[in-house]
Amino acid sequence: MRNLVILFLLSTILFSQLTEISGYVESEGDGFIIGSPQYFGYNKLRLDLDAYPTDALTIKASISSKLFWGKSEWSFGDFMPVSEELASTTYTISDTTNIDFLYSQLDLEWMHLTIGKQPLSMGGGFVWNPTNIFIQKDLLDPSYELVGINSFRASLPINKSELDIIIQPNDNLESNIYSAFNTNLFNHNLSLVGLQMNQIELNEEFSEESSKVLGLGFSTVGEIFGLGIWSEYLLKSDINFDNPQNEFVIGGDYTFDFQTYVMLEAFHQDNGAEFNTAYNDIDLLNYVAGNTKALAKDYVFGMLKHPLGEYSSISLSGIYNYSDNSYIAIPQVDWNPIDNLDLMVSIFKSVGSEKTEFEVQNIGGRLRMRVYF
């Protein structure tokens, strides 16, 4: 990885007359009460490089390095309502250096072609995106940046519409394939989606099993009388159509004349975990591994946000797990005191009965500072 960092820096120097260099330094500290107070955090450096060899060709790269501090060894029971047998299983967080993006983009009049580790964002949902088969958002910080996915992407303009095709090769040569026809209908953005994915799940022996899944769906984003609305739906099944499953999101947002912003979003998935008196360990681990969009079947997300002057705002957001009646509330203050400096303070308060999703962490907080350059 060190050689990759050196290569990145050398390329920056060699092509400095053709590139744009930017990035940020971010420091974050988190504290939670999990039995006793626990503290941890990181310092992060991100460098972004944009090169323009020709008018039609763009090269983008982004590298990030995280240095962690505080508590580094955690157990599954610290964050998940797992069984006693699994609760003591530990894992360690260590320093990382990653290439978040590294891709080339060719823009022609009749086609846009992107090859490499690139950002992939599709669907209208703010927290959940059923039609995004490549990556998932952080449930407690859904607007935070996502790393890229190694893939091939071709976009073909068709009059005022577009055909979008994405192929993500996998180790076992079973590619994830996403295709969408994007158009505008009655001032609403509409995407008709067809996909094939290699679904990975843990079995009862905690080993991975893979199966091919096909899906059809759509995504819409629009506005009616100042009310923003969006929806997203995916019907997926195995190749024999023996086990069809539905996932959907519906949401809306509105800004009042007195500047208060409100958002609501609901999510459902047929294959969510069942809750009786506890969740199954397999379901919990599949969720943590990113094999499912969420743990349970039904959720509601809400947000209220109001500006405090020109450079700061206060908000209250929360996620309610309808399946087990647990929830987490997140009051937050954002402040931009000077140019190129963002400050954020959040508090996390979890409420739920024993063994529910949000019962484990009682209360916590987060302080984040980001300086751009």
pLDDT digits 0-9 by tens, 265-286: 999 999 999 998 889 899 998 8
What is the model's pLDDT at position 256?
A: 97
- Residue 1 scores a pLDDT above 60: no
Structure-token pair, residue 31 = 């504290």
Percent of the chain residues topping a pLDDT of 90? 69
pLDDT one-digit tens code per residue, 43-81: 999 999 998 888 899 999 999 999 999 999 988 888 788
pTM of the model: 0.90
CA separation for the pair 109, 112 (Å, rounded): 8
Mean pLDDT of the chain, nearest integer? 91
Domains of the chain and any CATH numbers: 21-372 (2.40.160.100)
Query: What does the DSSP 8-state code read for residue 138?
Result: B
* pLDDT single digits (tens) 123-136: 999 999 999 999 99
207, amino acid identity: S
Task: Please give the pLDDT value at position 141.
Answer: 92
Long-range (24+ apart) CB contacts under 8 A made by 278-283 are: 278/81, 278/83, 278/355, 279/81, 279/355, 279/357, 281/82, 281/83, 281/85, 281/86, 282/202, 282/203, 282/204, 282/206
- pLDDT for 215 beyond 80: yes
| pLDDT above 60: residue 182 | yes
